[in-house]
Amino acid sequence: MRRRSVPALAISLAWLAAVTAACGAQQAGRPAERAASHPVAAQSPPSAAPRCAAAAGPPAAVLTVATRPGQAYFQRRCYYAPAGRAFTIRFTNSLFAVAGHRPTSLTLLISPGKDPAVARAGSTPGMYTVTPARAVFEGSPVRAPGTAVLSVPALTAGAYDLQILQLPGTSIATLIVAGTARIGQP
């Protein structure tokens, strides 16, 4: 008869303890959040990006994108880039966790607004899925405080979602790609 080894038994017990701890938590959560256990049916579009007006003039070929100081949001709701040619994003991450002043590492995603990398998951409020393969651009992670110069390949005209892989539930802006680059820009 095959006997279960002591390490295997220990792992099994640890697993059971973890599951029990995870599922058997105290019953007194915040009332609002406990009530949330019942999903509300609501049809939502896949993208939650803000609507933006057309660019006032030829967009610059160098964009400055940054998180708000100390906050998990972009500084602006709308950004503009030229269509049909590569452009540059200077992405600044200044987001630290208050506790321990721990820096974050953030990755910029650009995906089509009609097929966003970050999409709401059905009708469940707050739930989303992220499929980085849908992104037309994924930057390298930027650790706070830091700025990266990101080279974005040419995009066709249209509305894109600008998001952060590590903040999918909070950070979203719209990138309007249109027109041609401002003369004199790299």
Partner 1 sequence: MQSALLRTLAVAFLTAFCTLSGAGSATANTWGAWKWPGADTIPKDCLAADTVIIHTSPYTHSIAAANSCGSVHSEPMEVLLQEFNSSGALLQSCQVTGTNYAQCSVKHAVANGDYWNWDVFMGQPAIAEFGCSNKGFAGTACWQSSD
Q: Segment contacting partner 1 (CB under 8 A): 30-38, 51-59, 84-92, 175-183?
A: 30-38
Distance CA 60, CA 57 (A): 9
Q: For residue 104, give both structure tokens.
A: 């974050």
Between 68 and 107, how does the x/- string for binding to partner 1 read (CB under 8 A)? x-xxxx---------------------xxxxx--x-x--x
Distance CA 102, CA 113 (A): 32
Q: What angle do CA 137, 89, 139 make, to 5 degrees?
A: 35
Q: Segment contacting partner 1 (CB under 8 A): 28-36, 56-64, 153-161, 178-186?
A: 28-36
Residue 153 sits in the site that holds partner 1 (CB under 8 A): no
Contact 152, 88 (CB under 8 A): yes
* Strand partners for 137: 110
**Judged by CB, which is closer to partner 1: 6, or 99?**
99
**Judged by CB, which is closer to partner 1: 130, or 152?**
130
Element (H, E) at 14: helix 6-23
Distance CA 87, CA 176 (A): 13
Q: Segment contacting partner 1 (CB under 8 A): 58-66, 77-85, 148-156, 167-175?
A: 167-175
Q: Which residues make up the interface to partner 1 (CB under 8 A)?
A: 15, 18-30, 32-40, 68, 70-73, 95-99, 102, 104, 107, 121-122, 124-133, 138, 165-170
